[in-house]
Amino acid sequence: MNIAILGGTGKEGAGLGARWALVGHSIIIGSRDPERAKTKAAELRERTSKMAIMGESNAEAAKLGEVIVIALPASGLATTLPEVREGCRGKVVISTVVPLTFGGPRLYTPPAAGSAAEEAQALLPDANVVAAFHHIAADELSETDHAIECDLLLCGADAAAKETASQLGRSMGLRPIDVGPLSNAGPLEGITAVLTTVNRRYKLKNSGFKITGL
């Protein structure tokens, strides 16, 4: 697939891009700063020895991508997504965003919409938003020399869009598990806050999540 990663210069977005590039997908790294995106794309090409990685502005990346992945900070959704709405029209958009607030009374701080994914769907009404990939640690994504010990939980309103996200998960060796409609995105995103706390308490970087009984 041709995958555009908005906010792809960050650790999560770059890790996803590297994993997908290594299994044959084409990657477009998006950023507010096109030059920064091009620099990151060059780093990933060198790291993976895969040439199908390019860097563009977020808006241009959205136009070029077959599937769009949002790896932006939660605070950037309201300013960035309206600019990419046309490029996302009719496409599968995967939100990896988790609204965390470090240093406050609550680590997980969802927006009024209920979750970052639901906020993204409201800002991109012509796209099919799926919530996925939140709870796979960026450090785990970056260490591409070993498999990821984690299930892929995902949710969304459109079955075909969820299958697309599932295919992307399977391509990097993950077992996808459909956890229902997009209204479940809040609890799904909140798992990341739990894993973040586990990592801190037990001095880990890569705690994961698996469903038993399946």
Residue 205: burial class (beta carbons within 10 Å; 0-12, 13-18, 19+): exposed
Q: State pLDDT tens for residues 97-117.
A: 999 998 888 999 999 999 999
Question: Which residues, other chains included, contact 132 with Cβ-Cβ below 8 Å and sequence gap of 6+?
Answer: 94, 95, 96, 152, 153, 154, 155, 165, 169, 176
Confidence of residue 78 (pLDDT cuts 50, 70, 90): very high
Given a cut of 90, whether residue 20 has pLDDT beyond it is yes
Question: What value does the mean pLDDT take over residues 14-29?
Answer: 97
pLDDT at 103: 85
Prediction pTM value: 0.97
Task: Look up the CATH superfamily of 2-202.
Answer: NAD(P)-binding Rossmann-like Domain (3.40.50.720)
Q: State pLDDT tens for residues 184-196.
A: 999 999 999 999 9
pLDDT at 46: 97
Given a cut of 90, whether residue 139 has pLDDT beyond it is no
Confidence of residue 211 (pLDDT cuts 50, 70, 90): very high
Question: What value does the mean pLDDT take over residues 87-105?
Answer: 95
pLDDT at 41: 98
pLDDT at 15: 96
